């Protein structure tokens, strides 16, 4: 693991929202790098709509720079400043932009978006120069990477990317170019790696860096007392790709088969009304299905620990978006609760069927119900899966191991540039 030699490194992080409740992995990485002695300057495209509330984030919240809150007049001025300070770098970025506009279509909304982000890239570049940043690391390969790939040449530094899911599958414009322009292009799963390689992106630059859970995180003690009613739970945004509708249908099947079960859904989102209507139409009553609303991150582990099984039946939505490897699955596995998910994206790299959990095909309520039956009727299977799950997370999905890998890549890129 990198030692305090990281103290001489100063890097910048750019993400859509820092510190966002829905992207704990971004700010946890920043905090972990700080523990390793790395100075991190945080840049957020927007101010978070739902800001994370952990006490450890007090200093980060004060220091983060919200790019899109800078006035348009200042942004125009920053473009002139960067053109004057580094004309070759600015022209390199502008040439890159012109090529991208032609790739996306000259008179398109996409091209206009690139121009807008190019202008803000100058503001970011000015901040990077003023802070004497050596490397820019970006979470998500869509809008933040657009900004970074123009800002980096203006600032005279290199950038790297961490890609996840939506930024590849639904909003994956110019991916081949982004891989080529980055010093390395990390992603969270082997599935994503194959996806990028199928686009003929430069495979030498593609690295796997998992999102992980904090190695110091201690889940609450699992109660030895069984729930009077077998309790199934899920946590997530109420959006199509989480597959909550499939889960509700599966619970309805269990109830019709005479099983005494309860489903608890923690989360909110645009499908809340529709899912509640589905519940009513299936005749499920309050003690069979409960909507708990959104939970703050520090309450999630307590909720999961009280369950008999955690289910996240992810699927691909109508726009082609799907989850990568949800961190909440890792948290459930460390809580000692058996998990069920789907054979989708990178999920089977974490939830290995019949070894670390159970997986079923997406959008298949019958097989999902059968998997729940299996855990209800075979407690010995549940115990075996819980043991395998904990080992899998500890082997490959801990925060410190993956941040160490990321820092090694960043240190290597900085050292190469200074040879």
Instruction: Give pLDDT tens digits for 185-196.
Output: 999 999 999 999
**Residues whose CB is less than 8 angstroms from the CB of residue 224 and which lie 6 or more positions away in sequence, other chains included:** none
Residue 5 is predicted with a pLDDT of 46
Dihedral sign from CA coordinates of 134, 137, 141, 143: negative
Residue 297 is predicted with a pLDDT of 78
Residue 49 is predicted with a pLDDT of 87
Whether residue 139 contacts residue 14, with contact meaning beta carbons closer than 8 Å, is answered with yes
Decide if pLDDT at 6 tops 80.
no
- Rounded Cα–Cα distance for residues 306 and 313 (Å): 19
CA 279 to chain centre: 29
- Rounded Cα–Cα distance for residues 164 and 188 (Å): 6
Confidence of residue 22 (pLDDT cuts 50, 70, 90): confident
Whether residue 347 contacts residue 325, with contact meaning beta carbons closer than 8 Å, is answered with yes
Confidence of residue 236 (pLDDT cuts 50, 70, 90): very high
**Residues whose CB is less than 8 angstroms from the CB of residue 141 and which lie 6 or more positions away in sequence, other chains included:** 161, 163, 164, 167, 168, 172, 175, 178, 185
Decide if pLDDT at 1 tops 70.
no
Q: Quote the pTM value.
A: 0.91
Cβ neighbour number for residue 57 with a 10 Å cutoff: 18
- Rounded Cα–Cα distance for residues 220 and 39 (Å): 32
Question: Bridge-partner residues for 20, per DSSP?
Answer: 51
Cβ neighbour number for residue 155 with a 10 Å cutoff: 28
For residues 227-233, average pLDDT: 94
Nearest by Cα to 151 from 179, 181, 110, 112 = 181
Question: Bridge-partner residues for 185, per DSSP?
Answer: 161, 206
For residues 393-407, average pLDDT: 95
Confidence of residue 7 (pLDDT cuts 50, 70, 90): low
pLDDT-above-90 percentage for the chain = 87
CA angle 149, 155, 156 (to 5 degrees): 90
Q: What one-character DSSP code corresponds to residue 183?
A: S
**Residues whose CB is less than 8 angstroms from the CB of residue 199 and which lie 6 or more positions away in sequence, other chains included:** 175, 176
For residues 174-194, average pLDDT: 98
Residue 418 is predicted with a pLDDT of 67
Decide if pLDDT at 362 tops 50.
yes
pLDDT in tens, 46-101: 999 888 888 889 999 999 999 999 999 999 999 999 999 999 999 999 999 999 99
**Residues whose CB is less than 8 angstroms from the CB of residue 59 and which lie 6 or more positions away in sequence, other chains included:** none
Decide if pLDDT at 178 tops 50.
yes
Residue 307 is predicted with a pLDDT of 96
The overall average pLDDT reported for the chain is 94
Residue 197 tokens read as 């390689």
**Residues whose CB is less than 8 angstroms from the CB of residue 347 and which lie 6 or more positions away in sequence, other chains included:** 314, 323, 325, 326, 329, 341, 359
For residues 250-262, average pLDDT: 97
Residue 220 is predicted with a pLDDT of 83
For residues 392-401, average pLDDT: 95
Residue 296 is predicted with a pLDDT of 81
Residue 2 is predicted with a pLDDT of 45
3-state helix, strand, coil in the chain (%, to 5): 50, 15, 30
- Rounded Cα–Cα distance for residues 417 and 398 (Å): 30
- Rounded Cα–Cα distance for residues 147 and 122 (Å): 9
Decide if pLDDT at 12 tops 80.
yes
Residue 419 is predicted with a pLDDT of 60
- Rounded Cα–Cα distance for residues 199 and 69 (Å): 35
Q: What one-character DSSP code corresponds to residue 221?
A: P
Of the given ranges (49-58, 73-82, 151-160, 285-294), which has the lowest mean pLDDT?
A: 49-58
Whether residue 218 contacts residue 249, with contact meaning beta carbons closer than 8 Å, is answered with no
For tokens 């390689």, what's the residue? 197
């Amino acid at each position: 693991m990198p030692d305090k030699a990281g103290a001489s490194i100063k890097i910048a992080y750019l993400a859509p929202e820092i510190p966002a409740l829905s992207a704990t992995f971004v700010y946890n990485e920043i905090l972990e790098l700080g523990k390793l002695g790395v100075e991190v300057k945080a840049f957020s495209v927007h101010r978070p709509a739902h800001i994370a509330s952990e006490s450890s984030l007090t200093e980060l919240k004060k220091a983060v720079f919200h790019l899109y809150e800078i006035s348009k007049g200042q942004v125009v001025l920053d473009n002139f400043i960067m053109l004057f300070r580094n004309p070759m770098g600015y022209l390199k970025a502008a040439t890159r932009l012109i090529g991208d506009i032609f790739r996306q279509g000259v008179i398109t909304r996409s091209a206009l978006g690139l121009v807008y982000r190019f202008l803000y890239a100058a503001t970011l570049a000015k901040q990077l120069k003023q802070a004497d940043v050596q490397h820019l690391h970006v979470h998500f390969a869509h809008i933040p990477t657009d900004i970074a790939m123009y800002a980096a040449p203006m600032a005279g530094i290199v950038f790297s990317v961490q890609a996840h899911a939506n930024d590849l599958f639904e909003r994956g414009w110019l991916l081949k170019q982004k891989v080529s322009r980055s010093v390395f292009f990390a992603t969270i799963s082997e599935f994503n790696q194959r996806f990028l390689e199928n686009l003929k992106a430069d495979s030498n630059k593609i690295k796997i860096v998992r999102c992980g859970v904090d190695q110091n995180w201690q889940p609450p003690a699992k109660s030895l007392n069984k729930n009077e009613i077998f309790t199934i739970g899920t946590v997530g945004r109420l959006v199509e790709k989480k597959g909550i509708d499939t889960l509700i249908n599966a619970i309805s099947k269990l109830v019709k088969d005479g099983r005494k079960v309860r489903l608890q859904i923690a989360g909110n989102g645009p499908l809340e009304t529709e899912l509640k209507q589905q519940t009513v139409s299936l005749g499920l009553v309050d003690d069979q299905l409960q909507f708990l609303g959104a939970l703050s991150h520090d309450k999630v582990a307590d909720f999961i620990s009280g369950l008999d099984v955690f289910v996240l039946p992810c699927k691909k939505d109508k726009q082609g978006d799907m989850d990568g490897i949800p961190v909440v699955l890792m948290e459930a596995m460390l809580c000692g609760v058996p998990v069920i998910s789907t054979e989708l994206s990178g999920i089977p790299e974490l939830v290995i069927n019949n070894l670390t959990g159970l997986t079923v095909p997406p959008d298949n309520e019958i097989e999902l119900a059968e998997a729940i039956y299996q855990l209800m009727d075979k407690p010995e299977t549940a115990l075996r899966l819980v043991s395998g799950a904990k080992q899998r997370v500890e082997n490959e999905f801990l925060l410190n191991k993956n941040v160490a890998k990321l820092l090694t890549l960043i240190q290597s890129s900085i050292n190469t540039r200074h040879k």
